[in-house]
Structure 1
Amino acid sequence: MSDRFVSSRYRGMASTPMSSSVDRATRFDDVVNFSLGDPDLTTDPRIIDAAAADAHAGHTHYTDTFGDPELREEILAFYRQEYGYQPDPRELLVTTSGCHAMWLALESILDDGDEVVICEPYFTPYPHQIRLARGVPVVLSTLESEEFQVVPSRLEAVITPRTRAIILNTPANPTGSCLSRATKEAVARIAAEHDLIVIADEIYTLFSYGEEFEPFAMLPGMSERTITIGSFSKDFAMTGWRIGYVLAPPAVTMAMKDVNENNVFTAPSISQRAALHALRLREQIQPPMRALYRERLMHAYQRVCDMPGMSAIEPKGSIYLWVNITATGLSSDQVAERLFDEAHVLTIPGPAFGAGCEGYLRLAMTVGVEKIDEAFDRIARMDLFGGSPQR
């Protein structure tokens, strides 16, 4: 079929490894799927039931274009109660997911050709989202030997007169790392010196296993130049509800609201009600979720440490394990293919998260410990990892 009607910007664009993994997962009936970061947990029934009751009560209409007033009030209360941080209500906009929030932010702050620094390994959509907003992604490498911290001198080296923003993701997808307080302070200093915006992608706040999480906007002087991306997808197992929010300086939030009115108008009313009830129930819902994912992550980490040909640094957060497979002598794609073909274990090869990520695989801990053990038991039988050749 001819693609002459497709914009030249999108002709030949490849699907992301995330979407292609959905199709591959159906190839075998016993696949252990470590590919997508979609929690295997169903949204807590108390949230579902409360949202359904609200739908029956009439919450099936457009909401305020900034978001359901009750939800906005609850989000602001959450920041006060959890962090002692009090955003201005004018800074808050409810969005149709964290990904949509990121695109809205970029669309609202970038002029054509503006540059945005992203830290590699990065969440796969970042460069595409930047290009959608007619910006230019600039990759800043972070290294396993440095626990994937941002090195200030390397950050300053990639800043140019066209640099507009820096995207920070902590706890991080895909590495499982968390930026230290010293790293965040250094980034804040550089952002202030170069008059840059920091887009803080903070959708894994529940899954900070070492130090307690602190919003980037709370650093001295940073609330006026930080756009915070929040989401209910991972912290409440609500990926399918597609609900998120942003906190940003009021002028930026207003621009995002105006863009959004010409895009989806408002986030879904039912999803906003679900998010409201999730926040109100968080003390009952979230602690068991956090403990479960930490147990899974650390269990898989130990299995990796015991596996010839694999290694990883101890994950500090998120729900992902970033596995170094350079000792196999094969590429990430080759190892991922063999894991799938021989062990029926589905992973995402490192280069999906940046060209400099060869030699890694990402494993999402979205299956239980028994399935994790089943996967690693199968891998251990592969000759690639020291087992007997398969017959």
Structure 2
Amino acid sequence: MPEIAPHIAHMPGSGVRHILERALRRPGTIILAVGEPGEVASPRIRDAAADAWREGAIRYTPNGGTPALREAIRAKLARENGLDVDIEQIWVTVGATQALHLAMALTLSRGDEVLVPDPGYTTFTMNAHLLQAVPVPYPLRPARDFQPDLAELDSLVTPRTRALIVNTPSNPLGSTFDRATLDELLALARRHDLWLISDEVYERFTWGAPHVSPATLDSDGHVLSVFSLSKTYAMTGARVGWLVTPPDWRQTMLRVQESVVSCVDEPSQRAAAEALTGDQAAVARSAAHYRENLSAATAALSARGLRYLTPTGAFYLWIDVSHVSGGDVTAWCERFLDQEGVAVAPGSAFGASGEGWIRVCVASDRAQLLEGLSRLPAPV
């Protein structure tokens, strides 16, 4: 029997999925490990997709997306992000996951290096391995409130470095980068002639300063921007995101998109267009719910003396359990699940700098969230 490509064997799995699958085998488990919004997408959004199915609108769409959706995205980017782009810079994808894969595939060749945040979203590293590129972690440490050390980051650049991935608001940290930090990161990218790939999936959920899209600071086409409807509109299963490219990439993108997925299905695109153009009250309610859950959760953790990173975005809590994890937080999470019936994501699943920490999603029911957190062992 032929063997699969050798580099696939070196591709890491998802430590979060490992915990989830273990949790799903235990009825009654409190699942706080997965970034799934607790809400259901608004009826008008679901109806838009259902109407497309009833009409038989299930044929191929243009590679870049339907004109209606691309125009809705263009208007959204101008209105909310301060980005003025041509419709041909917008490419509708199968979630942010495909948009991120496209961005990396377009900028990395075999053996190239890509700077990835550590702790950072697992797919950054997984994609690099799949593309036979080399992920180079740039540490985000507690001593700096998990903000990048620009001098250290600069020292990691080599002649093989081609791209820098920036994720704000951060999954898993719940942290954000301010405008000054993004300016410095872009200056680094320009200095070394790197692409900056910006993951902005949690853009609508910031707790303090407003979200800043790096592309608004970019004057010379270094930024590729990744967006999604999954978290904002509770549409994780609909799989709609988009990639914003520099100008004049149309011919390249037509070939690349055709080779990967051809196009995104029309029912999902209709739902996406309705989400972006319709009433946004549900997004505001979701944001209020997440922020209230974060406030309740951080108050509960503080009362018990548990250390955490104060969240400034997304809907995650990054919690220090090093007082009990014994240097192997993944093994501790497995024991915690088995003994206490609560699934949390091990910080080491997001990189070596996550050892001793866990990620908790606060987007679900508040009572379940607080009950799960109450089972965490407090420092003695």
Q: Place the TM-score, normalised by the shorter chain, in its bin.
A: over 0.9
Where do residues 1-391 of structure 1 align in structure 2 (5 Å cutoff)?
Answer: 5-11=3-9, 15-221=13-219, 224-252=221-249, 254-308=251-305, 310-328=306-324, 330=326, 331-379=328-376, 384-385=377-378
Could you say if the C-alpha distance between residues 296 and 67 of structure 1 is closer, same or farther in structure 2, counting changes exceeding 3 Å?
A: same
Could you say if the C-alpha distance between residues 54 and 129 of structure 1 is closer, same or farther in structure 2, counting changes exceeding 3 Å?
A: same
Say whether the 8 Å CA contact 1:93–1:253 is kept in structure 2: no
Taking every aligned residue pair, what percent have the same amino acid on both sides?
Answer: 32
CA separation in 2, counterparts of 1:146 and 1:275? Answer: 38
Q: CA deviation at 1:220?
A: 4.5
Q: Could you tell me which runs of 5 or more consecutive residues in structure 2 were left unpaired when the two chains were aligned.
A: none
Could you say if the C-alpha distance between residues 251 and 113 of structure 1 is closer, same or farther in structure 2, counting changes exceeding 3 Å?
A: farther
CA separation in 1, counterparts of 2:210 and 2:91? Answer: 25
CA separation in 1, counterparts of 2:87 and 2:196? Answer: 20
Letter in 2 for 1:286: V
CA separation in 2, counterparts of 1:34 and 1:84? Answer: 34
CA separation in 2, counterparts of 1:251 and 1:131? Answer: 28
CA separation in 2, counterparts of 1:34 and 1:312? Answer: 16
Letter in 2 for 1:323: I
Say whether the 8 Å CA contact 2:345–2:359 is kept in structure 1: yes
CA separation in 1, counterparts of 2:42 and 2:257? Answer: 29
Q: Deviations over 1:57-78 (max 9, x none)?
A: 3421111111111000000001
CA separation in 1, counterparts of 2:30 and 2:251? Answer: 44
CA separation in 2, counterparts of 1:299 and 1:338? Answer: 26
CA separation in 2, counterparts of 1:329 and 1:109? Answer: 38
CA separation in 1, counterparts of 2:129 and 2:203? Answer: 27
Q: CA deviation at 1:251?
A: 4.3
Q: Could you tell me which runs of 5 or more consecutive residues in structure 1 were left unpaired when the two chains were aligned.
A: none
Q: CA deviation at 1:214?
A: 1.9
CA separation in 2, counterparts of 1:173 and 1:59? Answer: 35
Q: CA deviation at 1:100?
A: 0.7
Query: TM-score, normalization: structure 1?
Result: 0.92
Q: CA deviation at 1:339?
A: 2.1
Say whether the 8 Å CA contact 2:82–2:216 is kept in structure 1: no
CA separation in 1, counterparts of 2:262 and 2:116? Answer: 29
Say whether the 8 Å CA contact 2:94–2:241 is kept in structure 1: yes
Say whether the 8 Å CA contact 1:174–1:320 is kept in structure 2: yes
**Matched position secondary structure for 2:24:** coil
Q: CA deviation at 1:233?
A: 0.7
Could you say if the C-alpha distance between residues 205 and 114 of structure 1 is closer, same or farther in structure 2, counting changes exceeding 3 Å?
A: same
Say whether the 8 Å CA contact 2:8–2:129 is kept in structure 1: no
- Structure number with greater CO (CA < 8 Å, separation at least 6) is 2
Letter in 1 for 2:358: L
Say whether the 8 Å CA contact 1:119–1:168 is kept in structure 2: yes
**Matched position secondary structure for 2:372:** helix
Letter in 2 for 1:38: E
Q: CA deviation at 1:262?
A: 1.3
Name the stretch that deviates more: 270-279 or 56-65: 56-65
Q: Deviations over 1:76-115 (max 9, x none)?
A: 0011122332112221110111011111111112122111
Say whether the 8 Å CA contact 2:60–2:263 is kept in structure 1: yes
Say whether the 8 Å CA contact 2:7–2:129 is kept in structure 1: no
CA separation in 1, counterparts of 2:240 and 2:372? Answer: 32
Say whether the 8 Å CA contact 2:16–2:346 is kept in structure 1: no
